[in-house]
Structure 1
Amino acid sequence: MRSIAQINEKIQAQTATVLTVTELKARVRQVGIHQTAQEVDVITTGTFEPMESSGAILNLGQTDPPIKIRQCWLDQVPAYAGFGAVDLYIGASQMPDYPGAAEGGDHELSRERGGGHVIADLIAGRNVKLRAIGQGTDCYPRVTLETTISKATINQFYLFNPRNLYQNFIVGTNAGDRPLYTYLGMLQPHLGNAVYANPGALSPLLNDPELNVIGVGTRILLGGAPGYITWEGTQHFPLQKRLPNQTPIGPAATVALIGDAKQMDPKWVRGCYFKGYGASIMLGVAVPLAVLNERVVEQAAVEDTDLVAPIVDFSIPRRVRPTFGLVSYAQLKSGKLVIDGKVVRVAPLASLYRSQAMAQTLQQQIQAGTFLLSEAVAPLPNDRLFLPQDIRGGQAD
């Protein structure tokens, strides 16, 4: 029906018709897929959820005399320094490094502050304390460095996230006798609650389940700033079992993302902490779907009633945990479900309100002509297996 170039011409002329994915689904219910595809140029999707497989790359610039950093801490959170003299990578889930940290000892910095908080502070323009130890060579004689940095005092500062935007995920429950502290938050014993992480029908990759539109090079909003899909994400598993509508029944495709953190909006980047588990980061991500043909609209019209996720029992500490079957996202979003005859309260880990707002933010930028779409330079692979890690040459617990 149309090409990316044709859509971009309309965006530049501010004549493109752009609907959020929620508006798109409503329009399909009113007039059907064919007419909607004739009317709409771009669909915007969004999510705001914890994405712990995220991190930031920083270049500090050289000191005088120069230093070759080999150990570094940002607000006492370790950063990796093994790929350049003053290049650093700080992971969102990295926790503070100080005596007694592993045992939960007291310290002037909160035990609930990790890499995600440091990244969010830098994006918000706050100062962060830096302490570094250098190797000491003829060309890099300095061996220690203590200073304060901000995004205004460093060179490159960008997020590079190995795994974001899970195409579906799980529902966490706990049939055991004690509370469990997990990456989904606290799961109360005896099926006291259930938590789901994916925003369902709002989710970017669930609205392009076969990855026909989204690919390597797709331009996105990451933290409110322009970014790109750079590669398949870690644990990318497109061979997950699927329903007839091609949506997966559990964790499936993922993507790696990159974006300029200096341009990001603190509203869309928040450090967070899960009690008994650790630090993470809440990120807002919006992905446009170019309406190149009717198939794009057909797949993006999927409703929460047509999407399912597995209910997993975290009380069994194994790689493959038992499940209580599949549940629709419509049921999850109702706030309760029934497991083994018991009514269980349900809550989302993602913010459904902010996921909608993220899609609206991208919609507004496209309508204003300030955000153009990009052609994918390569498709995301559709044949990746998910390989477990077994103990070789050692002894398993």
Structure 2
Amino acid sequence: MRTIAEINDKIRTSSAVVLTVEEVKARVVETSVTQVAQEVDVITTGTFEPMESSGAIINLGQTDPPINIRNCWLDGVQAYSGFGAVDLYLGASQIVENGDESGDRGGGHVIEDLIAGKPVSLRSTGLVSDCYPRNSLETTISRDTINQFYLFNPRNLYQNFIVGVNGGERQLFTYLGPLQPRLGNAVYSNPGAMSPLLNDPDLEMIGIGTRIFLGGGIGYITWEGTQHFPLQKRLPNRTPIGPAATLAVVGDAKQMNPYWVRGCYFKNYGPSMMIGMGIPLPVLSEEVVAHCAVLDQDIVAPVVDFSIPRRVRPTFGLVSYAQLKKGRITIEGKPVRTAPVASLARSRQVAQQLKQWIELGQFTLTEPVASIPMDRAFIPQDVWGSQINLD
């Protein structure tokens, strides 16, 4: 029907027709897949959810005399420093180590502060050598006083995920938040039908080099994400029935906005980071629109019992996102209230913001340089270690 180059020409002349994925779903109901495919050039998707497998690369700039940093803490959160003299990697889920009342802070909060331009304390020790005679450094850094500061996230944009419940007798604290005993609540993390990868189930419109909305700035897909599992079982509409594809992404954090990158903390579990991410899908065929027409009632997720401390936990079957978003599901005849960890409102805002950028000519599309592999199996580590304390 059209090419990415042709779409970009229309973007530059402000003549491209852009709809959010929710607008497309509504338009398809009113008209048809064929008509929408003829009229629309780009479809924007979005999500705003916790993505703990994220972090920031930071280059401090060298001191005088030089230092080879081997231990480093930013506002009490340890950063990895084993790959360059003044290069650091700050993980979003790394915990604060100072033991004070700020123990609910982590790497995601420090990253948010740096993006916001706030000062961050740095304490480090160095490996002394003839090249690097300095043995320690204490200073304050900010977004504007460091060379590079960019997000490099090994696993973002889960194509689907699980619904967490607790069939046990005590409250559990998980990466989905608190789960009440005796099926007291159910928590899900994916925004469902507006989520980017559920609208491109076989990853046909994206690939390595695809330009995306990342944290309020521009980012790029760099590789498959860790735990990428595209061989997950799928429904006839090609959406997976559980965790499936993931993506690794990169973007300049100096251009990001703290509204879209927020440190968060899950009680008695640990810190993480909420990130706004959006993917534009070029309408190159009717199939693109057909995939984007998928509705919440057509997408399911497994209800997983966290009270069983195993890698493979028992499930209570599958539920649709339409059921989840009603605020209550039924498990074994019992009504269970539901709540999302993702912000559905901000997920919608991501798609709207990306749409506006494209309409203003501020964001053009890119041709992928390679496809994301769709044949990756999941390889577990079946090794029994120390005993788990279940008290």
Band of TM-score, shorter chain = over 0.9
Overall identity of the aligned pairs, in %: 70
Partner Cα separation in structure 2 for residue 395 and residue 316 of structure 1:
17
Deviation by residue 1:216-252 (Cα, 9 ceiling, x = unmatched)? 1110010010000000000000000000000000000
**Does the 8 Å CA contact 2:123/2:139 hold for their aligned counterparts?**
yes
User: What is the distance in 2 between the residues matched to 1:183 and 1:376?
Assistant: 33
Aligned to 1:222: 214
1:21 counterpart residue number: 21
The equivalent of 2:374 in structure 1 is 382
In structure 2, the partner of 1:86 is 86
CA distance, structure 1, for counterparts of residue 357 and residue 261 of structure 2: 19
- The reply on whether 1:128 has 2:120 as its aligned counterpart is yes
- Equivalent residue number for residue 332 of structure 2: 340
Partner SS, residue 31 of structure 2:
helix
Q: Residue 43 of structure 1 aligns to a residue in which SS?
A: strand
The residue correspondences of 1:217-366 to structure 2 (distance < 5 A) are: 217-366=209-358
Which of 365, 368, 382 lines up with 1:373 in the alignment? 365
Equivalences, count? 388
Q: State TM-score, norm by structure 2.
A: 0.98
SS at match of 2:345: helix
How far apart are the structure 1 equivalents of 2:118 and 2:302? 41
Aligned twin of 1:142? 134
1:155 corresponds to which letter in structure 2?
N
2:97–2:103 Cα contact (<8 Å) kept: no
Secondary structure, counterpart of 1:24 in structure 2? helix
Correspondence list, 1:87-236, <5 A? 87-98=87-98, 101=99, 107=100, 110-236=102-228
* In 2, Cα distance between equivalents of 1:242 and 1:144: 53
Query: For the structure 1 residues 351 and 231, does the alpha-carbon distance in structure 2 shift closer, same or farther, using more than 3 Å as the test?
Result: same
- Look up the SS of the partner of 2:145 in the other structure: coil
Distance in 2 separating the partners of 1:355 and 1:193: 23
Shift in Å, 1:396: 7.1
Shift of 1:214: 1.3
Q: Find the residue that maps to 1:216 and give its secondary structure.
A: coil
Give the structure-1-normalised TM-score: 0.97
Find the aligned partners of 1:20 and 1:120 in 2 and give their Cα distance.
27
Contact 2:261-2:275 within 8 A present in 1 as well = yes
After TM superposition, the runs of 4+ consecutive aligned structure 1 residues lying more than 4 A away are: 394-397
Give ranges in structure 2 of 5+ residues lacking alignment. Answer: none
Distance of 1:4 and 1:247 partners within structure 2: 25
CA deviation profile, 1:365-396 (whole Å, cap 9, x unmatched): 0000010000011110010000111228x777
Over aligned residues, Cα RMSD in angstroms? 1.0
Equivalent position of 1:42 in the other structure: 42
Deviation at 1:96, TM superposition (A): 1.2
For residues 323 and 297 of structure 2, what CA distance do their matches in structure 1 show? 8
Q: What amino acid is the match of 1:6? A: E
Return the offset for 1:322.
Answer: 0.3
How many angstroms does 1:139 deviate by? 1.2
Q: Give the direction of change, closer, same or farther, for the CA distance of 1:43–1:180 in structure 2 (3 Å limit).
A: same
